[in-house]
Structure 1
């Protein structure tokens, strides 16, 4: 029987049960590891245990019934950036040999772990994320999961956000719990994720649909912002190469779009809009106006857009450059008058749905915005 020491998120009972693959037979015992502490950045979904010369970490010592459970915990810990290391753990005043999972680097001692505060902010996201991570056990190397951890976390955050659904006054209020799902398979798991669902859903005639198999592209939420200068009546668009048009066979795979980016776990869509405006266009926005939040292609994708107008003092330069080299972004920016932007809609050169929608929204609200400038 192997004993392991876990602390922080890995010691949270609901999460530990998912990682272990079910309830643990033995009762975890309060334990302490000296010479280590949770990482200095506590306001993250998965702060990890790292060495600290004067540190002290409180956690639990768990007796594992078999090697499989240890392998599952080791796998998830590795996906979070931790390595199993033999340590002496203090339990009831005695030292016991056990395995602890530590990340790289060293830091100063941190404050005591606030499990309740962490669970309130991150708990639901962490449970969704670790469910996906544990689902790759035996199917995908942990280092590959670690390489895409931010996408895993963003998908988890999107699932949590989806629970705050808008009302159903015209559409059916039939809950998702009435869908009968008989199977779910991950058919691709890289930077992006696709799943195949086998299910039956309630039909409008009161019966259940025949058995169906449906594939879905599991994406994240995204924030989109159309920068607008009401005093000068001009907008900023970004241009970049896109795989969708290229894969479709479009001879012109460079497209015009609003500023856009993934909503990271723990980040609000508004914060994403401000961040992306700076990263893609070098803009500090003066304010945001919410346009709409909607699914982009609900027949095959979970992708959900939060669209904003970003009030800004736009530069006089017609073209600029933007994007992060670390994300291999190659972006060109265009500042143009509102009438010129609407001409792109008329000609079809503006052929990205969110941009067309956002320009039409601006067309409706433009008199109000200009009068207040």
Structure 2
């Protein structure tokens, strides 16, 4: 525990989809004075994301789906191209990403490699995201993918040349941070 932080009050503002809390805390500043601060924190649980890549074909598998927050922030269609991802729920990160990969992309993978973990929006969201990469081959495709109907998912599976995906980052077509990070990881580590 950080001795410079004393939480004095927590109020739940919303517990509809995930949990939004208003937290009042005292923070000990460098000058030795305590300061009372108020912040809101959105707790949606932790998640995992993966970049599927094929060395022989030099391709990656990404998804495209509607994301309301991007639509509300000016994305005209609300559609976002992303690496496959999902919330851990009660799973460990490896089991989660294997399940999400099959549900969203239709590929059944067994070996995944964790490459790093990161907070994506630490000023307001509690989530830590576990990043993975995995090789795929055509014979690993066992179902169509597209997500689960009961989760209201309507996901398009995209297999793209790796260089085209990188160009989509440069052009601004891919704007999702986790996807950009995984594509850059693949480039830096010469996975393809």
TM range (shorter): over 0.9
CA shift for structure 1 position 252: 2.6
CA distance in 2 between partners of 1:206 and 1:364 (Å): 43
Partner residue, 2:88: 263
Partner residue, 2:126: 302
- 272-281 or 321-330: bigger deviation: 321-330
Matched, 1:183 2:9: yes
Matched, 1:214 2:48: no
Gaps of 5+ in 1: 1-174
Deviations 1:33-62 (A, max 9, x none): xxxxxxxxxxxxxxxxxxxxxxxxxxxxxx
Equivalent pair of 1:229/1:313 in contact (CA under 8 Å): yes
Equivalent pair of 1:223/1:261 in contact (CA under 8 Å): yes
1:86-105 paired onto structure 2 within 5 Å: none
Equivalent pair of 1:314/1:335 in contact (CA under 8 Å): no
Equivalent pair of 1:197/1:214 in contact (CA under 8 Å): yes
CA shift for structure 1 position 312: 0.9
CA shift for structure 1 position 249: 2.7
**Structure whose CA Rg is larger:** 1
CA shift for structure 1 position 259: 0.5
Instruction: Considering fraction of residues, name the structure with more strand.
Output: 2
Q: What secondary structure is seen at the aligned counterpart in 2 of 1:211?
A: strand
Pick one of 23, 29, 33 that aligns with 1:197. Answer: 23
Pick one of 278, 291, 304 that aligns with 2:115. Answer: 291
CA shift for structure 1 position 177: 4.5
Partner residue, 2:174: 350
Gaps of 5+ in 2: none
Q: What secondary structure is seen at the aligned counterpart in 1 of 2:118?
A: strand
Equivalent pair of 2:62/2:159 in contact (CA under 8 Å): yes
Instruction: Considering fraction of residues, name the structure with more helix.
Output: 1
CA distance in 2 between partners of 1:301 and 1:206 (Å): 28
Q: Normalization by structure 1: what TM-score?
A: 0.49
CA distance in 2 between partners of 1:329 and 1:190 (Å): 19
CA distance in 1 between partners of 2:40 and 2:184 (Å): 32
Deviations 1:299-356 (A, max 9, x none): 01101100101211147x9xx6511111110000110111111000110111011100
Q: What secondary structure is seen at the aligned counterpart in 1 of 2:122?
A: coil
CA distance in 1 between partners of 2:32 and 2:184 (Å): 39
CA distance in 1 between partners of 2:187 and 2:137 (Å): 19
Q: What secondary structure is seen at the aligned counterpart in 2 of 1:273?
A: helix
